[in-house]
Structure 1
Amino acid sequence: MRPRALAVLVPAHNEQDLLPRSLEAIRAAAQHPALCAVPAITVVTADSCSDGTVTTALRAGAQVVQVGGRNVGLARAAAAERALEMLGGPEGLWLASTDADSLVPPDWLAFQHAGAGAGWDAVVGTVTVIPGPHHPPCLAARHQVRYTASRPAYGPWTHPHVHGANLGVSAESYVAVGGFPPVPVGEDRGLVAALGRGGHRVLRTAECPVATSGRLRPRARGGFGDHLVGLALEEGASP
């Protein structure tokens, strides 16, 4: 059954510069013709912000939750909790997760909505890297080669990646496995692992990638940004 409502979860720590484009992309995705009768909200968790992140999110029409833990697991979970409160509980609700430095494609929410309608409990997508002005010249290419190493020459790619920037889950399945774990990194992998252990149907697909920042000074340590830093250092560049 297709979801009755959608909520987009966005954790943010001092993201006033990149957040406007991210929220604009989410707004465009929510206006996809396939979702004309489906209510959608965006919830931004401002985690230990000292800049204009809160004001930026409110001006864009997002709901805002403020926390102080510098913990992305807690931040995503807080956004999910607010969405559940606002949209009447988990039944028929779909939770889509992205990041404040990422740009979702226009069909992102429609794609997840259709996946839910096809019987999937979660959709685990891929990302592409937005080149940065100070990147080493071969960084994007090096990343792409490694990222797609397991992709077959023909047919669909059941990829091994998990990104909070491109993730969706039915709220009922989310609640059943305990939600995002309260960890400073890897909360996305923790949730997907719990869904697998619980027997929930998880679609791993590369069909609707999200473009994410290639900045070499990431907000969270130990995550995707540090992977890019490592690649940059391999090329002899200073991140």
Structure 2
Amino acid sequence: MHSFKGETFNMHRRTIETSEIVQPERLSLPRRSAIVAIPARNEAERIARCLSALAVQRDRLGAPITPGHFGVLLLVNNSTDGTADVARKLVPNLPYPLEILEASLLRNATAGGARRRAMQEAAERLGKGSANGVLLTTDADSLVTPTWFIDNLHHLDSGVDCVAGYIDAEPAEIVSLGASFLARGRLEDTYLRLVAEIYALCDPRAYDPWPNHRVSSGASLAVTLAAYEAVGGMPDKALGEDAAFTTLLDQRGFKVCHPLDVSVVTSCRLNGRATGGAADTMRYRRETPDAPCDDDLEPAVKTLLRASLRGFLRKAYQQDGIEQALSRLLGRGRLDRAASLPFLEMWREIEARHPKLQKRTPLRPSDLPRQIAAANFILRHVRPNWRRIDVPKDKYLHAISYASVDA
């Protein structure tokens, strides 16, 4: 038993021998239905830091959050070290109920599979259809900021369904990777910020306002239980389950925001737990300084084209002018079923079919200074005029004519 402030919580450990879900016991959450789900594999060196960061959560005025506002479910999966033992020793000192599940995942024993299982277990404890239930997740090698919990709730209370936090690198670790690696990261982060602003101004969404970012990472996600259940939970993917999850929410009409005031600091280790994950990518980029950037980074002019088209088409879609716009954009006779699809599915068809929207050779760090200059030039002209995106329906044909197939 674990008690504080006169409240008692049942602490227990359960071993999952197969990939099947069994009926769980329940975390006792007397005040708020919120659980932080954390998958962990061989994290004995870092798990204490992760759990301790959640123990010092405070509100926006600096007062400690009252115990019992959230619980933590730690899924220790396929570990061969003392991760569970380290966490267990912390239990008497923590101001929140901690449940430790030790699992041997036989199917989907991957980073994505472990997060999916941890989120499933947490959702079951909240109870199907629980009013105001909230699921949060972070990584075992990450440190949430002191107001992480309350900042997530602030955005959820504003009317969004999911909050994707900002991910910062652990300072000492990223500096230790060398000057060239740090310089590369600074270039990419500078360009990513400019790209995010171009998208925010050219394809604005009121629930995800500028300033924001464009990353969805399992190191910092919060979602209402209702939205989570509506899309069937985390996608069953070995890697990239986090981005796939927010994309799925977006496709189903749920509101996902990417605020900068919700953030975590995460590890920059080069020996990760997932093959093909972030650690492998960082190691390759450290060994090859001019290795390609992420696939979604493209030249500034093409970024402007893609963001502007999506913004104009989104507005046309909302104002029932989409068929005429698509006819001009794709060419007559090529509408097929595109106009009848949900907006994001329609947009993906356009991206796949339109020659000017095809992905080309990925950018490299050596390309970024020129692209940063181009993006700054674009934004100097877009910022003063961004409200003009809200144009009448009859102006859409003119707005997209420069990108039509026949242009």
Flag whether TM exceeds 0.5 (same fold): yes
The match for 2:72 among 35, 38, 42 is 42
For 2:371, the equivalent position in structure 1 comes to none
Amino acid at match of 1:176: A
Q: 1:141 to 1:157 in 2, by over 3 A?
A: farther
For 2:104, the equivalent position in structure 1 comes to 67
Q: Is the 8 A contact 2:166 2:259 kept in 1?
A: yes
Offset from partner CA, 1:2-37 (integer Å, 9 cap, x none): x932211111110000110011001222x5448437
Could you tell me which runs of 5 or more consecutive residues in structure 2 were left unpaired when the two chains were aligned: 1-30, 92-97, 198-208, 291-407
CA distance in 2, matches of 1:219, 1:50: 12
- Structure 1: 4+ residue segments shifted above 6 A: none
- Give the number of equivalent residue pairs: 233
Q: Which stretch shows the higher mean deviation, 17-26 or 39-48?
A: 39-48
Offset from partner CA, 1:176-201 (integer Å, 9 cap, x none): 11111222211101111110111001
For 1:206, the equivalent position in structure 2 comes to 260
Q: 1:190 to 1:41 in 2, by over 3 A?
A: same
RMSD over aligned CA atoms reads: 2.4
Bigger strand share: 1
Q: 1:117 to 1:35 in 2, by over 3 A?
A: farther
CA distance in 2, matches of 1:210, 1:220: 20
The match for 1:197 among 243, 251, 256 is 251
Bigger helix share: 2
Q: Which has the larger radius of gyration?
A: 2
TM-score by length of 2: 0.53
CA distance in 2, matches of 1:141, 1:207: 24
For 2:217, the equivalent position in structure 1 comes to 163
CA distance in 1, matches of 2:129, 2:73: 16
Partner SS for 2:214: coil
Q: Is the 8 A contact 2:32 2:70 kept in 1?
A: no
Q: Is the 8 A contact 1:45 1:67 kept in 2?
A: no
- Identical positions, percent: 29
Partner SS for 1:151: helix
Amino acid at match of 1:203: C
Could you tell me which runs of 5 or more consecutive residues in structure 1 were left unpaired when the two chains were aligned: none
For 1:172, the equivalent position in structure 2 comes to 226
Q: Is the 8 A contact 1:214 1:225 kept in 2?
A: yes
CA distance in 2, matches of 1:50, 1:83: 23
For 1:147, the equivalent position in structure 2 comes to 189
Q: Does 1:226 align with 2:280?
A: yes
For 2:133, the equivalent position in structure 1 comes to 93
Partner SS for 2:154: helix
